[in-house]
Amino acid sequence: MSLSRIRGQDGAIAHLRSAFEARRLAHAYVFNGPDGVGKETAALELAAALNCEAGGLEGCGACASCRMAAKLAHPDIHLVFPMPRDAKPAEAAEILAEQARAGYRDAGFGRKAAIISVEAVLDAVVAKANQRPYTGPWKVFVVADADAMTPEAANALLKSLEEPPDATVLVLTTSRLNALPATVLSRCQRIQFRRLPRDTVEDILLSDKRLGFNKARARAAAAVSLGSAGRAVRAEGEGLASELGRVADLMTGKRAAGVGPLLNEASQIAFRLGRQEQERLLDLMLLWLRDVLLLRELGDGAPAGEILFERQRRQLEAQARAMDARAIGDLAVRIDDARRAIERYSNPSIVFTSVLVDVAVARRRAEAGGGRAHAA
Ligand SMILES: [Zn+2]
């Protein structure tokens, strides 16, 4: 494990690296950026690398210090994160153990209606800030989703920020910079984290075996992730299957068969879904066509784990028999155009009516003549 493991955040990592090499690490940082793009992981990797017995800023992953850090059990790396108001002290330790085991450290943090209490800050940061490191050389404090601090907690933290002990780094992470008190912000150097490209999210999901993704599921989760690996992991758990079912129904005409239902479906999508959800619906429609094309070209030879809509395999196969490659390609172009139109804030009602008509027409043609008739 090392800082180079952080994907898609080259600017942030380069900044930390050069500050370290110039021996100018700030005492306090705010890692700002969307949820699930690697802020907490980067903070923990930085903490591990600073303490690695091999020196440098890579983190060897093998020394005693790196191994303790990987288990989130390093005595000089302290992690504070939001907990429900009525949580018992032991619960934090359980969450940490689970995070270390499951490999995705962001997923359990920042839960709704959770706070970082003044007790947590006093206990994990203030009381420890002036103690010498156990194994050294650095003591690192990570406050994940720091905007969840209560005002009292932020005040307590300020004391540590005003008189920072040597060889101490404090990293606050947040996706809501403006929710942090200005008094705290003004004492921290800000580092910006960005949304991840979809390919990067897919790679992250596949590269950590503990997450248990195959190619097709990683692709789907990445498609709905909005550039957040954390969101992709959550999407896998929450209703991705039902979303896939909805897309399959749209593409096979089980939903929106006939003019009335089609107009109704288009207006439901236009008025009930947000723009990002509309984009991801169109992304999934494209992935459906990709599956159809794969089955058409490779049949049973399609590699295991490549077919996203595995549960709807029979419907995919029926379309693969009925549509030729050109018809599939034409429809994909229409759906892609629709996606661009939504991106440009075109009227979603018109866009979805038109794209659902395109889908219906392509399907009717296929049913009427099969692939051969279209090719002729
Ligand atoms: Zn090491």
Span from the CA of 4 to the centroid of ligand 1 (angstroms): 14
Please answer whether residues 233 and 36 qualify as being in contact, where contact means their C-beta atoms are separated by less than 8 angstroms: yes
Residue 102's pLDDT band, with cuts at 50, 70 and 90, is: low
Global confidence as pTM: 0.70
Q: What is the mean pLDDT of the chain?
A: 85
**What confidence tens digit (pLDDT) does each residue in 317-343 have?**
999 999 999 999 999 999 999 999 998
Task: Report in angstroms the alpha-carbon separations of 282 from 261, 314, 345.
Answer: 19, 21, 14
Residues in contact with 360: Cβ distance below 8 Å, sequence separation at least 6, in sequence order = 253, 256, 257, 262
Residue type, 172: L
- In the three-class reduction of DSSP (H, G, I as helix; E, B as strand; rest coil), residue 374 is classed as helix
Span from the CA of 22 to the centroid of ligand 1 (angstroms): 21
Can you tell me the distance from the alpha carbon of 197 to that of 228, in angstroms, rounded to the nearest whole number? 9
pLDDT of residue 96: 76
In sign, the C-alpha dihedral spanning 141, 143, 149, 151 is positive
**Taking the chain, what is the end-to-end CA distance rounded to the nearest angstrom?**
57
Query: Could you tell me the two tokens for 20?
Result: 């370290």
Does the pLDDT of residue 68 top 50, yes or no? yes
Does the pLDDT of residue 198 top 70, yes or no? yes
Beta bridge partners of 173: 31
Span from the CA of 201 to the centroid of ligand 1 (angstroms): 26
Can you tell me the distance from the alpha carbon of 255 to that of 163, in angstroms, rounded to the nearest whole number? 63
Residue 7 phi/psi, 5° resolution? -100, 145
pLDDT of residue 370: 53
Does the pLDDT of residue 97 top 80, yes or no? no
Beta bridge partners of 32: 174, 192
pLDDT of residue 238: 66
pLDDT of residue 228: 86
Can you tell me the distance from the alpha carbon of 24 to that of 71, in angstroms, rounded to the nearest whole number? 28
Can you tell me the distance from the alpha carbon of 66 to that of 46, in angstroms, rounded to the nearest whole number? 11
Does the pLDDT of residue 257 top 90, yes or no? no
Span from the CA of 137 to the centroid of ligand 1 (angstroms): 12
Span from the CA of 78 to the centroid of ligand 1 (angstroms): 17
pLDDT of residue 371: 47
Residue 168 phi/psi, 5° resolution? -130, 135
Span from the CA of 62 to the centroid of ligand 1 (angstroms): 5
Query: Could you tell me the two tokens for 186?
Result: 């003004």
**What confidence tens digit (pLDDT) does each residue in 202-211 have?**
998 898 877 7
Span from the CA of 196 to the centroid of ligand 1 (angstroms): 27
pLDDT of residue 27: 93
Q: What is the mean pLDDT of residues 82-93?
A: 77
**What confidence tens digit (pLDDT) does each residue in 265-286 have?**
999 999 998 887 888 899 889 9
For 204-270, give the DSSP string: HHHH-GGG---HHHHHHHHHTSTT-HHHHHHHHHTTHHHHHHHHHHHHHTSSS-SHHHHHHHHHHHH
What's 2-22 look like in SS3?
A: CHHHCCCCHHHHHHHHHHHHC
Span from the CA of 55 to the centroid of ligand 1 (angstroms): 8
- In the three-class reduction of DSSP (H, G, I as helix; E, B as strand; rest coil), residue 147 is classed as helix
Spell out which residues have Cβ within 5 A of ligand 1, the ion: 52, 54, 60, 63, 66
Span from the CA of 59 to the centroid of ligand 1 (angstroms): 5
Span from the CA of 1 to the centroid of ligand 1 (angstroms): 9
**What confidence tens digit (pLDDT) does each residue in 109-120 have?**
444 458 899 988
Q: Kindly tell me the number of DSSP H helices and DSSP E strands found in the chain.
A: 17, 7
Residue type, 251: M
Residue type, 166: D
Residue 56 phi/psi, 5° resolution? 70, -165
